[in-house]
Amino acid sequence: MIPKTTSLRRNPDDGLPVAGLLALAMTGFICIMTETLPAGLLPEIGAGLHISSALAGQMVTAYALGSLSAAIPLTLFTQRWRRRRVLLLAIIGFVVFNSITAFSTHYDLTLVARYGAGAAAGLAWALLAGYARRMVTRAQQGRALAIAMVGTPIALSLGVPAGTWLGAAVGWRLAFGIMSGASLLLIVWVLAKVPDFPGLAHHERLPFGHVLRTPGVRSVLSVVMTWMLAHNVLYIYIVPFIAPARLAGEADRILLLFGFAALFGIWLTSRTVDHALRLSVLASLAIFAVVAGVFAIGSASPVVIMIGVTVWGLTFGGAATLLQTALADAAGEGADVALSMNVVAWNSAIAGGGILGGVLLETWGAMSFPWAVMGLALAGLLIAWKARSHGFRPGHRLGHEAEN
Protein backbone atom coordinates (compact mmCIF):
# COMPACT_ATOMS: atom_id res chain seq x y z
CA MET A 1 0.00 0.00 0.00
CA ILE A 2 2.73 2.46 0.93
CA PRO A 3 4.79 2.49 -2.31
CA LYS A 4 1.73 3.16 -4.46
CA THR A 5 0.73 6.27 -2.56
CA THR A 6 1.37 9.70 -4.01
CA SER A 7 3.15 11.66 -1.32
CA LEU A 8 2.22 15.14 -0.28
CA ARG A 9 5.92 16.06 -0.33
CA ARG A 10 7.47 15.75 -3.76
CA ASN A 11 10.90 17.10 -2.93
CA PRO A 12 12.98 15.22 -0.34
CA ASP A 13 14.30 18.58 0.81
CA ASP A 14 10.83 19.95 1.59
CA GLY A 15 9.98 20.50 5.25
CA LEU A 16 8.26 17.73 7.13
CA PRO A 17 4.54 18.17 7.96
CA VAL A 18 5.41 18.44 11.64
CA ALA A 19 1.95 19.49 12.88
CA GLY A 20 0.32 16.43 11.33
CA LEU A 21 3.05 14.09 12.52
CA LEU A 22 2.77 15.45 16.05
CA ALA A 23 -0.98 14.72 15.94
CA LEU A 24 -0.02 11.09 15.31
CA ALA A 25 2.49 11.31 18.17
CA MET A 26 -0.28 12.62 20.42
CA THR A 27 -2.41 9.64 19.43
CA GLY A 28 0.36 7.31 20.56
CA PHE A 29 0.75 9.31 23.77
CA ILE A 30 -2.94 8.90 24.56
CA CYS A 31 -2.71 5.16 23.80
CA ILE A 32 0.07 4.71 26.35
CA MET A 33 -1.43 7.09 28.92
CA THR A 34 -4.79 5.33 28.74
CA GLU A 35 -3.05 2.00 29.22
CA THR A 36 -0.87 3.02 32.18
CA LEU A 37 -3.23 5.42 33.97
CA PRO A 38 -4.74 2.78 36.29
CA ALA A 39 -1.31 1.53 37.41
CA GLY A 40 -0.67 4.47 39.71
CA LEU A 41 -4.27 4.70 40.94
CA LEU A 42 -5.09 1.14 41.98
CA PRO A 43 -6.02 1.92 45.62
CA GLU A 44 -8.24 4.85 44.58
CA ILE A 45 -9.93 2.84 41.81
CA GLY A 46 -10.40 -0.10 44.17
CA ALA A 47 -12.06 2.14 46.75
CA GLY A 48 -14.25 3.79 44.12
CA LEU A 49 -15.49 0.50 42.67
CA HIS A 50 -15.46 -1.37 46.02
CA ILE A 51 -12.95 -3.96 44.82
CA SER A 52 -9.42 -4.98 45.77
CA SER A 53 -6.34 -3.38 44.23
CA ALA A 54 -5.58 -6.72 42.58
CA LEU A 55 -8.94 -6.65 40.78
CA ALA A 56 -8.39 -3.02 39.87
CA GLY A 57 -5.11 -4.08 38.27
CA GLN A 58 -7.05 -6.22 35.82
CA MET A 59 -8.07 -2.98 34.11
CA VAL A 60 -4.57 -3.00 32.62
CA THR A 61 -4.97 -6.66 31.65
CA ALA A 62 -8.30 -5.99 29.93
CA TYR A 63 -6.74 -3.16 27.94
CA ALA A 64 -3.86 -5.37 26.80
CA LEU A 65 -6.27 -8.13 25.80
CA GLY A 66 -8.24 -5.64 23.72
CA SER A 67 -5.13 -4.58 21.84
CA LEU A 68 -3.95 -8.15 21.31
CA SER A 69 -7.26 -9.55 20.09
CA ALA A 70 -8.50 -6.62 18.00
CA ALA A 71 -5.47 -5.19 16.19
CA ILE A 72 -5.32 -7.67 13.31
CA PRO A 73 -9.07 -8.22 12.68
CA LEU A 74 -9.88 -4.49 12.90
CA THR A 75 -6.99 -3.65 10.57
CA LEU A 76 -8.13 -6.22 8.03
CA PHE A 77 -11.76 -5.08 8.34
CA THR A 78 -10.92 -1.42 7.74
CA GLN A 79 -8.37 -1.89 4.93
CA ARG A 80 -10.71 -0.36 2.35
CA TRP A 81 -11.73 2.63 4.49
CA ARG A 82 -10.17 6.01 4.04
CA ARG A 83 -7.26 6.35 6.42
CA ARG A 84 -8.34 9.44 8.36
CA ARG A 85 -11.73 7.85 8.96
CA VAL A 86 -9.98 4.87 10.59
CA LEU A 87 -7.74 7.13 12.67
CA LEU A 88 -10.72 9.15 13.88
CA LEU A 89 -12.57 5.93 14.71
CA ALA A 90 -9.73 4.88 16.99
CA ILE A 91 -9.59 8.29 18.70
CA ILE A 92 -13.37 8.36 19.13
CA GLY A 93 -12.98 4.96 20.79
CA PHE A 94 -10.80 6.60 23.44
CA VAL A 95 -13.41 9.33 23.97
CA VAL A 96 -16.22 6.81 24.42
CA PHE A 97 -14.46 4.16 26.48
CA ASN A 98 -12.51 6.52 28.74
CA SER A 99 -15.78 8.36 29.39
CA ILE A 100 -17.51 5.10 30.31
CA THR A 101 -14.62 4.28 32.64
CA ALA A 102 -14.91 7.69 34.26
CA PHE A 103 -18.64 7.32 34.98
CA SER A 104 -18.97 3.56 35.52
CA THR A 105 -19.88 2.35 38.99
CA HIS A 106 -19.85 -1.33 37.99
CA TYR A 107 -16.63 -3.32 37.78
CA ASP A 108 -17.79 -5.51 34.89
CA LEU A 109 -18.76 -2.50 32.78
CA THR A 110 -15.42 -0.90 33.58
CA LEU A 111 -13.57 -3.99 32.33
CA VAL A 112 -15.61 -3.95 29.11
CA ALA A 113 -14.76 -0.30 28.62
CA ARG A 114 -11.08 -1.01 29.21
CA TYR A 115 -11.20 -3.84 26.66
CA GLY A 116 -12.79 -1.43 24.17
CA ALA A 117 -10.13 1.19 24.82
CA GLY A 118 -7.48 -1.47 24.22
CA ALA A 119 -9.12 -2.41 20.92
CA ALA A 120 -9.05 1.25 19.88
CA ALA A 121 -5.36 1.37 20.77
CA GLY A 122 -4.65 -1.78 18.77
CA LEU A 123 -6.24 -0.22 15.70
CA ALA A 124 -4.36 3.05 16.24
CA TRP A 125 -0.96 1.39 16.68
CA ALA A 126 -1.46 -0.63 13.50
CA LEU A 127 -2.25 2.57 11.62
CA LEU A 128 0.19 5.19 12.93
CA ALA A 129 3.46 4.08 11.35
CA GLY A 130 1.95 3.54 7.91
CA TYR A 131 0.10 6.85 8.14
CA ALA A 132 3.28 8.76 9.00
CA ARG A 133 5.07 7.17 6.05
CA ARG A 134 2.31 8.16 3.64
CA MET A 135 2.46 11.82 4.67
CA VAL A 136 5.99 12.28 3.26
CA THR A 137 8.30 11.15 0.49
CA ARG A 138 10.08 7.85 0.87
CA ALA A 139 13.32 9.73 1.59
CA GLN A 140 11.63 11.39 4.60
CA GLN A 141 9.90 8.32 6.02
CA GLY A 142 12.46 7.52 8.70
CA ARG A 143 12.46 11.04 10.13
CA ALA A 144 8.67 11.25 9.88
CA LEU A 145 8.24 8.01 11.80
CA ALA A 146 10.66 9.20 14.47
CA ILE A 147 8.48 12.27 15.04
CA ALA A 148 5.26 10.23 15.02
CA MET A 149 6.71 7.87 17.66
CA VAL A 150 7.98 10.58 20.03
CA GLY A 151 4.86 10.37 22.20
CA THR A 152 5.67 6.79 23.19
CA PRO A 153 8.77 7.27 25.38
CA ILE A 154 7.28 10.42 26.88
CA ALA A 155 4.18 8.50 27.95
CA LEU A 156 6.20 5.47 29.07
CA SER A 157 8.41 7.55 31.33
CA LEU A 158 5.79 10.01 32.55
CA GLY A 159 2.56 8.00 32.28
CA VAL A 160 2.44 6.33 35.69
CA PRO A 161 3.85 9.24 37.75
CA ALA A 162 1.71 11.77 35.85
CA GLY A 163 -1.36 9.59 36.24
CA THR A 164 -0.67 9.15 39.94
CA TRP A 165 -0.27 12.90 40.41
CA LEU A 166 -3.37 13.65 38.33
CA GLY A 167 -5.48 11.11 40.18
CA ALA A 168 -4.36 12.48 43.55
CA ALA A 169 -5.09 16.04 42.44
CA VAL A 170 -8.51 15.61 40.80
CA GLY A 171 -9.61 12.01 41.47
CA TRP A 172 -9.27 8.96 39.27
CA ARG A 173 -12.62 9.44 37.53
CA LEU A 174 -11.82 12.98 36.46
CA ALA A 175 -8.39 11.78 35.34
CA PHE A 176 -10.10 9.47 32.82
CA GLY A 177 -12.43 12.32 31.91
CA ILE A 178 -9.42 14.51 31.14
CA MET A 179 -8.13 11.78 28.80
CA SER A 180 -11.49 11.90 27.00
CA GLY A 181 -11.24 15.68 26.73
CA ALA A 182 -7.71 15.43 25.34
CA SER A 183 -8.99 12.95 22.77
CA LEU A 184 -11.73 15.39 21.70
CA LEU A 185 -9.10 18.06 21.16
CA LEU A 186 -7.04 15.56 19.21
CA ILE A 187 -9.98 14.95 16.86
CA VAL A 188 -9.99 18.66 15.99
CA TRP A 189 -6.21 18.56 15.52
CA VAL A 190 -6.43 15.56 13.18
CA LEU A 191 -9.18 17.17 11.10
CA ALA A 192 -7.15 20.35 10.78
CA LYS A 193 -3.63 19.01 10.18
CA VAL A 194 -3.66 15.35 9.17
CA PRO A 195 -4.33 14.67 5.47
CA ASP A 196 -6.65 11.94 4.29
CA PHE A 197 -5.65 8.98 2.11
CA PRO A 198 -7.65 6.29 0.36
CA GLY A 199 -7.75 2.76 1.66
CA LEU A 200 -6.89 -0.28 -0.41
CA ALA A 201 -9.02 -1.21 -3.38
CA HIS A 202 -10.51 -4.68 -3.22
CA HIS A 203 -7.96 -6.14 -5.63
CA GLU A 204 -5.09 -4.62 -3.63
CA ARG A 205 -6.00 -6.24 -0.32
CA LEU A 206 -3.43 -8.78 0.82
CA PRO A 207 -4.39 -11.81 2.94
CA PHE A 208 -2.88 -12.16 6.39
CA GLY A 209 -1.00 -15.33 5.50
CA HIS A 210 0.51 -13.79 2.37
CA VAL A 211 1.88 -10.84 4.35
CA LEU A 212 3.24 -13.11 7.10
CA ARG A 213 5.10 -15.19 4.49
CA THR A 214 6.64 -12.13 2.84
CA PRO A 215 10.44 -12.43 3.12
CA GLY A 216 11.75 -10.43 6.04
CA VAL A 217 8.47 -10.01 7.90
CA ARG A 218 8.93 -12.95 10.25
CA SER A 219 12.55 -12.00 10.91
CA VAL A 220 11.59 -8.49 11.97
CA LEU A 221 8.72 -9.76 14.12
CA SER A 222 11.10 -12.21 15.80
CA VAL A 223 13.44 -9.35 16.67
CA VAL A 224 10.47 -7.38 18.01
CA MET A 225 9.59 -10.27 20.31
CA THR A 226 13.11 -10.92 21.63
CA TRP A 227 14.07 -7.25 22.01
CA MET A 228 10.83 -6.16 23.68
CA LEU A 229 10.69 -9.25 25.89
CA ALA A 230 14.20 -8.42 27.14
CA HIS A 231 13.24 -4.78 27.66
CA ASN A 232 10.06 -5.52 29.58
CA VAL A 233 11.64 -7.99 31.98
CA LEU A 234 13.72 -5.07 33.28
CA TYR A 235 11.22 -2.27 32.78
CA ILE A 236 8.25 -3.93 34.49
CA TYR A 237 10.34 -5.11 37.45
CA ILE A 238 12.57 -2.07 37.72
CA VAL A 239 11.84 -1.56 41.43
CA PRO A 240 13.05 -4.99 42.68
CA PHE A 241 15.96 -4.81 40.24
CA ILE A 242 17.30 -1.50 41.57
CA ALA A 243 16.58 -2.36 45.22
CA PRO A 244 20.06 -3.86 45.88
CA ALA A 245 21.54 -0.49 44.86
CA ARG A 246 19.27 1.17 47.43
CA LEU A 247 17.40 3.02 44.69
CA ALA A 248 13.93 1.46 45.10
CA GLY A 249 12.58 4.74 46.45
CA GLU A 250 13.99 6.56 43.41
CA ALA A 251 12.16 4.49 40.78
CA ASP A 252 10.28 7.50 39.43
CA ARG A 253 13.52 9.40 38.88
CA ILE A 254 15.16 6.35 37.31
CA LEU A 255 12.28 6.03 34.86
CA LEU A 256 12.44 9.75 34.12
CA LEU A 257 16.15 9.40 33.33
CA PHE A 258 15.29 6.46 31.08
CA GLY A 259 12.64 8.54 29.32
CA PHE A 260 14.96 11.48 28.63
CA ALA A 261 17.61 9.12 27.27
CA ALA A 262 14.96 7.45 25.08
CA LEU A 263 13.98 10.84 23.65
CA PHE A 264 17.58 11.46 22.67
CA GLY A 265 17.62 7.95 21.19
CA ILE A 266 14.65 8.87 18.99
CA TRP A 267 16.44 11.98 17.74
CA LEU A 268 19.59 9.98 17.03
CA THR A 269 17.58 7.32 15.21
CA SER A 270 15.93 9.97 13.03
CA ARG A 271 19.41 10.79 11.74
CA THR A 272 20.40 7.18 11.01
CA VAL A 273 17.26 5.20 10.19
CA ASP A 274 17.31 5.84 6.43
CA HIS A 275 20.96 5.25 5.62
CA ALA A 276 22.00 2.89 8.43
CA LEU A 277 18.92 1.02 9.65
CA ARG A 278 20.66 -2.35 9.86
CA LEU A 279 23.68 -0.94 11.67
CA SER A 280 21.41 0.97 14.08
CA VAL A 281 19.49 -2.20 15.01
CA LEU A 282 22.63 -4.29 15.43
CA ALA A 283 24.38 -1.59 17.47
CA SER A 284 21.34 -1.03 19.71
CA LEU A 285 20.97 -4.73 20.49
CA ALA A 286 24.69 -5.24 21.00
CA ILE A 287 24.95 -2.28 23.38
CA PHE A 288 21.83 -3.42 25.24
CA ALA A 289 23.42 -6.85 25.71
CA VAL A 290 26.61 -5.23 27.02
CA VAL A 291 24.58 -3.10 29.46
CA ALA A 292 22.85 -6.26 30.70
CA GLY A 293 26.26 -7.85 31.23
CA VAL A 294 27.42 -4.83 33.22
CA PHE A 295 24.23 -4.99 35.27
CA ALA A 296 24.94 -8.65 36.01
CA ILE A 297 28.23 -7.85 37.71
CA GLY A 298 27.60 -4.38 39.10
CA SER A 299 23.91 -3.93 39.85
CA ALA A 300 24.57 -3.20 43.52
CA SER A 301 26.24 0.07 42.51
CA PRO A 302 23.99 3.15 42.15
CA VAL A 303 26.43 4.62 39.64
CA VAL A 304 26.28 1.50 37.47
CA ILE A 305 22.49 1.57 37.60
CA MET A 306 22.24 5.23 36.66
CA ILE A 307 24.70 4.98 33.77
CA GLY A 308 23.28 1.65 32.62
CA VAL A 309 19.69 2.92 32.62
CA THR A 310 20.77 5.94 30.58
CA VAL A 311 22.47 3.83 27.94
CA TRP A 312 19.57 1.35 27.98
CA GLY A 313 17.11 4.19 27.36
CA LEU A 314 19.28 5.48 24.54
CA THR A 315 19.22 2.11 22.78
CA PHE A 316 15.48 1.64 23.37
CA GLY A 317 14.33 5.09 22.22
CA GLY A 318 14.70 4.36 18.52
CA ALA A 319 13.45 0.77 18.67
CA ALA A 320 9.89 1.51 17.53
CA THR A 321 11.10 3.64 14.61
CA LEU A 322 13.72 1.13 13.50
CA LEU A 323 11.56 -1.97 13.80
CA GLN A 324 8.41 -0.51 12.26
CA THR A 325 10.41 0.98 9.38
CA ALA A 326 12.08 -2.36 8.73
CA LEU A 327 8.75 -4.19 8.97
CA ALA A 328 6.89 -1.80 6.67
CA ASP A 329 9.74 -1.86 4.13
CA ALA A 330 9.78 -5.66 4.14
CA ALA A 331 5.98 -5.96 3.83
CA GLY A 332 5.61 -3.38 1.04
CA GLU A 333 1.94 -3.13 0.08
CA GLY A 334 1.02 -5.26 3.07
CA ALA A 335 2.54 -2.76 5.50
CA ASP A 336 -0.66 -2.01 7.45
CA VAL A 337 -1.37 -5.71 7.98
CA ALA A 338 2.25 -6.33 9.00
CA LEU A 339 2.11 -3.42 11.43
CA SER A 340 -1.01 -4.90 13.01
CA MET A 341 1.07 -8.04 13.58
CA ASN A 342 3.64 -5.81 15.23
CA VAL A 343 0.97 -4.61 17.68
CA VAL A 344 0.28 -8.21 18.66
CA ALA A 345 3.98 -9.05 18.92
CA TRP A 346 4.75 -5.92 20.95
CA ASN A 347 1.89 -6.45 23.42
CA SER A 348 2.66 -10.16 23.68
CA ALA A 349 6.20 -9.22 24.64
CA ILE A 350 4.85 -6.88 27.33
CA ALA A 351 2.71 -9.68 28.75
CA GLY A 352 5.55 -12.16 28.34
CA GLY A 353 7.94 -9.83 30.12
CA GLY A 354 5.58 -9.67 33.07
CA ILE A 355 5.28 -13.46 33.20
CA LEU A 356 8.97 -14.24 32.62
CA GLY A 357 10.12 -11.55 35.03
CA GLY A 358 7.73 -12.83 37.69
CA VAL A 359 8.99 -16.40 37.32
CA LEU A 360 12.62 -15.27 37.45
CA LEU A 361 11.97 -13.07 40.47
CA GLU A 362 10.25 -15.85 42.41
CA THR A 363 12.76 -18.53 41.40
CA TRP A 364 16.20 -16.91 41.33
CA GLY A 365 15.59 -13.31 42.40
CA ALA A 366 16.08 -10.01 40.61
CA MET A 367 19.78 -10.69 40.01
CA SER A 368 18.73 -13.22 37.36
CA PHE A 369 17.19 -10.47 35.21
CA PRO A 370 20.42 -9.26 33.55
CA TRP A 371 21.38 -12.76 32.43
CA ALA A 372 17.96 -13.37 30.87
CA VAL A 373 18.00 -9.94 29.24
CA MET A 374 21.48 -10.50 27.84
CA GLY A 375 20.46 -13.86 26.37
CA LEU A 376 17.34 -12.41 24.74
CA ALA A 377 19.21 -9.38 23.38
CA LEU A 378 21.88 -11.63 21.88
CA ALA A 379 19.16 -13.82 20.34
CA GLY A 380 17.61 -10.74 18.72
CA LEU A 381 21.05 -9.64 17.55
CA LEU A 382 21.66 -13.02 15.91
CA ILE A 383 18.28 -12.96 14.13
CA ALA A 384 18.86 -9.43 12.86
CA TRP A 385 22.40 -10.30 11.76
CA LYS A 386 21.16 -13.29 9.73
CA ALA A 387 18.32 -11.25 8.14
CA ARG A 388 20.75 -9.52 5.80
CA SER A 389 18.90 -10.34 2.58
CA HIS A 390 15.42 -9.48 3.88
CA GLY A 391 14.28 -7.62 6.97
CA PHE A 392 17.45 -5.79 7.99
CA ARG A 393 19.28 -5.03 4.77
CA PRO A 394 22.54 -3.07 4.63
CA GLY A 395 22.83 0.28 2.90
CA HIS A 396 20.33 3.06 2.29
CA ARG A 397 16.61 2.26 2.21
CA LEU A 398 16.15 4.11 -1.09
CA GLY A 399 18.73 1.84 -2.68
CA HIS A 400 16.64 -1.19 -1.73
CA GLU A 401 13.68 0.25 -3.61
CA ALA A 402 15.84 0.65 -6.68
CA GLU A 403 17.07 -2.95 -6.39
CA ASN A 404 13.48 -4.20 -6.23
Asked if 18-204 and 208-392 have one fold, the answer is yes
Going from the C-alpha of 274 to that of each of 159, 380, 397, the distances in angstroms are: 30, 21, 6
CATH topology of domain 208-392: Growth Hormone; Chain: A; (1.20.1250)
Query: Which of 14, 122, 121 is closest to 73 using CA atoms?
Result: 122
Spatial separation of the C-alpha atoms in residues 320 and 125, rounded to whole Å: 11
Cα–Cα distance measured from residue 125 to residue 136, given in angstroms and rounded to the nearest whole number: 19
CA 232 to chain centre: 12
Tell me the pTM.
0.83
What single-letter DSSP state applies at residue 14? S
One pLDDT digit (tens) per residue for the chain, 404 residues: 334 443 444 444 457 899 999 999 999 999 989 988 887 788 888 899 998 877 888 888 889 889 989 999 998 899 889 999 999 999 999 999 999 999 999 999 999 999 999 999 999 998 998 899 899 988 888 889 889 988 887 887 676 677 778 887 889 999 999 999 999 999 999 999 999 999 876 656 678 888 999 999 999 999 999 999 999 999 878 889 999 999 988 877 888 899 889 989 988 998 899 889 999 999 999 999 999 999 999 989 999 999 999 999 999 999 988 999 999 899 988 888 898 899 899 888 888 888 898 899 989 999 999 999 999 999 999 999 999 999 999 988 776 554 54
Coil, strand, or helix at residue 215? Answer: coil
Q: Where are the domains of the chain?
A: 18-204, 208-392
Cβ(225)–Cβ(345) below 8 Å? yes
Q: In this structure, which topology does domain 18-204 adopt according to CATH?
A: Growth Hormone; Chain: A; (1.20.1250)
